[in-house]
């Protein structure tokens, strides 16, 4: 670790715990608390949770290891990382670029102009930039996600304030819904809260890796856990809460659709902060002697734990109060205040709940801002402080557009028409467009390319060499030996390594992950229909 700091001048995490908590803080966010419960509610509960766990284990964990390894090896932001490792010419990237250009031409012929032009431009870029594009796309994705993420973070602040002022006492769903719609469509206060959220992010990232991000996460992640436990205990002790528990833990496979499986997979990327290089960036501050595999398992396990806890926090209360589990994206901001109204000391629980949401969003928001900052510092040689403040300002402005696009603001009408005309389908706001573009397209695509790049271009062998520092068991001990508890004992291999964690990981990165992501992706764009 010391050696890193001396040779690259790069600040490192203070140690293993700091890294794990910061990365877990990035992973645990609105995805766990806001999104996971409502998609679970919409997709039938227990069976969906099982499929989600499978996706996390099969695709999430291998790519998490991949990203941290890429970061630690190159000690760079995602764009710098790919620039450093991309070979002079790559047949695979030329092939992909040509495929995209041809697809673009075909789409234009079929008069799908929006997608056609997008495919053409992207194809040309892939051709020119090759794998470097993956890193650049990662930084761009971070920039875009933070713009709308910060708006939702602002909603959490706004709702915490409302709860404290006791303005959230609804006894049925209708006024709760109305309040929410009125709140998000009134641009000025929403932009104010969004500004506050961005300021908090800037303030933390400004202070640097150890003093800023690490310290903030060391406080916020344990606090999150405590608040969550309190809220779970409160929910569980309500009469009728057992229906909620049953809903979460009794798998009913008849309710699970192919669509549900695909939602589970793309959610795995979002919730683990994968596919855009947040973990590459955090990995770049990791010391050489730390155990990458062990840390990745911890991060994934903590994120999963918080997702399950979020369901345990929300569903028992929702069922006990007689609300619908399949309420959709409004589940949190509409059902939760209504639920809290009906229990003793409601406003207090509601304030706690929205503070919890705010902290979860903040610990993820700083990781998004750090990606953009690290890019400007490494590649553009900007001083860190200037990079944080300026990117904060630009992201705030884009976020303000997202916030305004949800309201009924005349000037935004034009963009809605353009978005709808270009991409067809339902009427979409700028906010929805960015959310959809990043979560359903850029993250899975980024994940696919990160796996393909590591598996086939940079090479599993080099990646494993990097992981070996700090984790001997990963590549040198037979899997059975390891499972039997005979750790650190390469002698059981007889000098060869037929089956180790490393070989298993290599197979996943080269074959299993790309195929799984590709299937999801083709389904998302409608070229493969798995729904019976
Ligand atoms: N993982 C975060 C969440 O669950 C969102 C996020 C995505 C953060 C990508 C960083 C990068 O809310």
Decide if pLDDT at 489 tops 90. no
Q: Would you state the pLDDT for residue 324?
A: 79
5/353: higher pLDDT: 353
Q: Please state which of the ranges 51-65, 92-106, 175-189, 492-506 shows the lowest mean pLDDT.
A: 492-506
pLDDT value, residue 4: 45
> Residue 402 region, left (φ>0) first, then alpha (ψ -120 to 50), else beta?
alpha
The Cα 359–Cα 299 span in angstroms is: 17
Q: Answer for the pair 435, 149: CB distance below 8 angstroms, yes or no.
A: no
User: Is the distance from CB of 82 to CB of 479 less than 8 angstroms?
Assistant: no
Task: Kindly state the average pLDDT of the residues 92-106.
Answer: 93
C-alpha–C-alpha distance, residues 313 and 245, integer Å: 10
- Identify which of 150, 270, 373 to mutate to test ligand 1's pocket (most ligand atoms within 8 A of the CB): 270
User: Would you state the torsion angle of the CA atoms of residues 450, 452, 455, 457, taken in this order, to the nearest 10 degrees?
Assistant: -100
**Vertex 373: Cα angle to 437 and 429 (nearest 5):** 25
Closest CA relative to residue 85, chosen from 369, 450, 368, 374: 450
Measured CA to CA, the distance from residue 29 to residue 17 in angstroms comes to 19
Tell me if 22 CB under 6 Å of ligand 1.
no
Tell me if 93 CB under 6 Å of ligand 1: no
Nearest to 249 by CA among 28, 39, 40: 40
The answer, yes or no, to whether any atom of ligand 1 lies below 6 A from the CB of 367, is yes
Q: Look over the chain and give the mean of its residue pLDDT values, rounded to a whole number.
A: 89
Nearest CA to ligand 1 atom 6: 273
For the chain, which residues make up each domain, given as ranges?
13-86+131-524, 87-130
Instruction: Give the CA distances from residue 253 to residues 43, 58, 147, 326, in Å, rounded to whole numbers and listed in that order.
Output: 10, 20, 37, 16
Residue 333: pLDDT band by 50, 70, 90 thresholds? confident
Q: Is the CB of 81 under 6 A from ligand 1?
A: no
Please tell me if the CB atom of residue 141 comes closer than 6 angstroms to any atom of ligand 1.
Answer: no
User: Is the CB of 27 inside a 6 Å radius of any atom of ligand 1?
Assistant: yes
Over the stretch 231-252, which tens digit does the pLDDT of each residue have?
899 888 888 889 999 988 888 8
- Cα separation values, 449 from 39, 104, 151, 255, Å: 26, 19, 29, 32
Q: Given a cut of 90, is residue 175 above it in pLDDT?
A: no
> From CA 332, how far away is CA 449, in angstroms rounded?
33
Per mean pLDDT, which range of 108-112, 221-225, 363-367, 410-414 is the poorest? 410-414
Above pLDDT 90, what percent of the chain?
A: 61
Other C-beta atoms within 10 Å of 246: how many?
14
Closest ligand 1 atom, CA of 360?
Answer: 12
* Rounded Cα gap, residues 295 and 303, in angstroms: 12
Q: Is the CB of 273 under 6 A from ligand 1?
A: yes
Half-sphere exposure of 430 (CA within 13 A, CB side): 21
201 CB near ligand 1 (under 6 Å): no
Evaluate if residue 460 carries a pLDDT over 70.
Answer: yes
Would the CB of 364 count as within 6 Å of ligand 1? yes
Q: Which residue has the higher pLDDT, 5 or 498?
A: 498
Point out the ligand 1 atom lying closest to the alpha carbon of residue 142. Answer: 11
Res. 257: pLDDT tops 80? yes
- DSSP letters spanning 315-330: HHHHHHTT--S--GGG
Digit-coded pLDDT (tens) for 280-295: 999 999 999 999 999 9
Q: How far apart are CA 146 and CA 315, in angstroms?
A: 28
pLDDT-based confidence at residue 32 (cuts at 50, 70, 90): very high
pLDDT of 361: 97
List the alpha helices (DSSP H) in 110-131. Answer: 113-129
**Cα four-point dihedral sign 434, 436, 440, 445:** negative
Determine phi and psi for 478, rounding to 5 degrees: -55, 140
Rounded Cα distance, 72 and 281, in Å: 8
- CB 271 near ligand 1, within 6 Å: yes
Per-residue confidence (pLDDT) for residue 422, from 0 to 100: 56
Centre of ligand 1 from the C-alpha of residue 28, in Å: 7
List pLDDT tens digits, range 334-380.
Answer: 878 877 777 788 888 889 999 999 999 999 999 999 999 999 999 99
**Cβ(446) to ligand 1 under 6 A?**
no
**Residue showing tokens 């890019």:** 375
* Beta-bridge partners for 365: none
Q: How confident is the model at residue 331 (pLDDT cuts 50, 70, 90)?
A: confident
Asked whether the predicted pLDDT for residue 506 surpasses 50, the reply is: yes
What was the pLDDT predicted at 2?
42
Q: In the prediction, which pLDDT does 532 show?
A: 60
Question: Ligand 1 centroid to 96 CA: how many Å?
Answer: 28
Give CA separation, 93 vs 55, 173, 275, in Å. Answer: 27, 51, 18
Which is the closest atom of ligand 1 to the Cα of 278? 11
Predicted pLDDT at 186:
87
Position 420 scores a pLDDT of 59
pLDDT of the residue at 1: 39
Residues 36, 39, 40, CA angle at the centre, nearest 5°?
A: 80
Per-residue pLDDT for 61 more than 70?
yes
Is CATH 1.10.3470 correct for 13-86+131-524? no
Among 201, 221, 203, 211, smallest CA distance to 21 is for 221
Q: Is 439 in the pocket of ligand 1 (CB under 6 A)?
A: no
Does the beta carbon of 457 sit less than 6 angstroms from any atom of ligand 1? Answer: no
194 vs 254, more confident = 194
The minimum-distance atom of ligand 1 relative to the CA of 275 is 9
Distance 115 CA to ligand 1 centre (A): 26
pLDDT score of 229 more than 90: yes
Say yes or no: CB of residue 509 within 6 Å of ligand 1.
no
Torsion 364-360-197-153 (CA) sign: positive
- Judged by DSSP in three states, 478 sits in strand
Residue with tokens 């506050």: 196
The burial class, CB within 10 Å (0-12 / 13-18 / 19+), for 496 is: exposed
- How would DSSP label each residue in 10-46? ----SSHHHHHHHHHHHHSSHIIIIIHHHHHHHTTTH
More confident site: 271 or 526: 271
Give the count of beta carbons closer than 10 Å to the beta carbon of residue 390.
Answer: 15
Structure tokens at 343: 């229990």
How confident is the model at residue 495, as a pLDDT? 55
pLDDT in the model for residue 503: 92
The three-class DSSP label of residue 530 is coil
Ligand 1 and 153: CB distance under 6 A: no
Which residue's CA is the nearest one to ligand 1's atom 11?
273
Q: Which residue has the higher pLDDT, 416 or 78?
A: 78
Residue 368 CA, closest ligand 1 atom number: 10
What residues contact residue 324 under an 8 Å CB cut-off, 6+ apart?
A: 41, 318, 335
Ligand 1 centroid to residue 150 C-alpha, Å:
11
Distance 151 CA to ligand 1 centre (A): 14
Q: Is the CB of 32 under 6 A from ligand 1?
A: yes
Split at pLDDT 50, 70, 90, the class of 256 is confident
* pLDDT of the residue at 6: 46
pLDDT at 476 over 70: yes
Euclidean distance between the first and the last CA atom of the chain, given in angstroms as a whole number = 53
Give 345: exposed, middle or buried? Use CB within 10 Å, 0-12, 13-18, 19+: exposed
How far is it, in rounded angstroms, from Cα 490 to Cα 497? Answer: 9
Does the beta carbon of 270 lie inside 6 Å of ligand 1?
A: yes
Picking from 134, 86, 129, 126, the residue whose alpha carbon sits closest to that of residue 102 is 126
Ligand 1 contact via 276 beta carbon (within 6 Å): yes
With a 6 Å cutoff on the Cβ, whether 24 touches ligand 1 is no
Q: What is the pLDDT of residues 376-398, one digit of tens each?
A: 999 999 999 999 999 999 999 99
């Amino acid at each position: 670790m010391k050696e890193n700091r001396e040779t690259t001048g790069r600040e490192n995490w203070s140690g293993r715990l700091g890294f794990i908590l910061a990365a877990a803080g990035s992973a645990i966010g609105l995805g766990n608390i806001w999104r996971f419960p409502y998609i679970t509610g919409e997709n039938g509960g227990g069976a969906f949770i099982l499929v989600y766990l499978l996706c996390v284990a099969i695709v999430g964990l291998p790519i998490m290891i991949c990203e941290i390894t890429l970061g630690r090896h190159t000690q760079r932001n995602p764009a710098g990382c790919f620039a450093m490792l991309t070979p002079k010419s790559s047949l695979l990237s030329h092939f992909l670029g040509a495929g995209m250009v041809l697809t673009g031409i075909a789409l234009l012929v079929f008069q799908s102009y929006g997608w056609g032009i997008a495919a053409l431009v992207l194809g040309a870029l892939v051709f020119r930039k090759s794998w470097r594009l993956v890193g650049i796309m990662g930084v761009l994705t971070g920039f875009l996600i933070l713009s709308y993420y910060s708006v939702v973070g602002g909603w959490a602040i706004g709702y915490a304030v409302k709860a404290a002022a006791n303005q959230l006492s609804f006894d049925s769903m209708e006024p709760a819904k109305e309040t929410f719609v009125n709140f998000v469509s009134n641009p000025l206060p929403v932009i104010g809260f969004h500004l506050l959220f961005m300021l908090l992010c800037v303030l933390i990232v400004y202070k640097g890796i150890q003093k800023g991000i690490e310290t903030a996460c060391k406080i916020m992640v344990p606090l999150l856990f405590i608040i969550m436990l309190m809220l779970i205990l409160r929910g569980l002790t309500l009469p009728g809460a057992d229906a909620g528990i049953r809903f979460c833990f009794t798998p009913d496979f008849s309710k699970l659709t192919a669509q549900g499986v695909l939602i589970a997979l793309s959610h795995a990327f979002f919730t683990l902060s994968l596919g855009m290089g947040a973990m590459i960036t955090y990995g770049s501050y990791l010391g050489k002697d730390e155990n990458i595999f062990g840390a990745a398992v911890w991060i994934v396990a903590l994120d999963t734990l918080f997702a399950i806890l979020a369901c345990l926090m929300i569903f028992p209360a929702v069922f006990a109060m007689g609300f619908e589990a399949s309420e959709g994206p409004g589940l949190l901001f509409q059902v939760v205040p209504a639920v809290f109204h009906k229990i003793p000391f409601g406003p207090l629980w509601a304030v706690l709940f929205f503070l919890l949401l705010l902290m979860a969003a903040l610990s993820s928001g700083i990781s998004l801002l750090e990606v953009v900052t690290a890019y400007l510092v490494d590649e553009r040689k900007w001083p860190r402080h200037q990079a944080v403040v300026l990117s904060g300002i630009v992201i705030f402005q884009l976020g303000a557009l997202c916030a305004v696009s949800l309201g009924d603001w005349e000037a935004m009408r034009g963009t809605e028409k353009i978005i709808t005309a270009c991409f067809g389908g339902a009427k979409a706001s700028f906010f929805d467009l960015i959310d959809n573009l990043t979560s359903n397209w850029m993250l899975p695509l980024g994940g696919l390319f990160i796996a393909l790049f590591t598996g086939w271009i940079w090479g599993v062998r080099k990646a494993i060499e990097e992981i070996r520092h700090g984790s001997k068991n990963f590549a040198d001990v037979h899997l059975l030996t390891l499972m039997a508890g005979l750790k650190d004992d390469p002698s059981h291999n007889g000098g060869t390594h037929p089956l180790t964690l490393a070989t298993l990981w290599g197979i996943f990165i080269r074959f299993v992950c790309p195929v799984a992501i590709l299937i999801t992706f083709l389904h998302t764009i409608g070229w493969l229909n798995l729904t019976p």
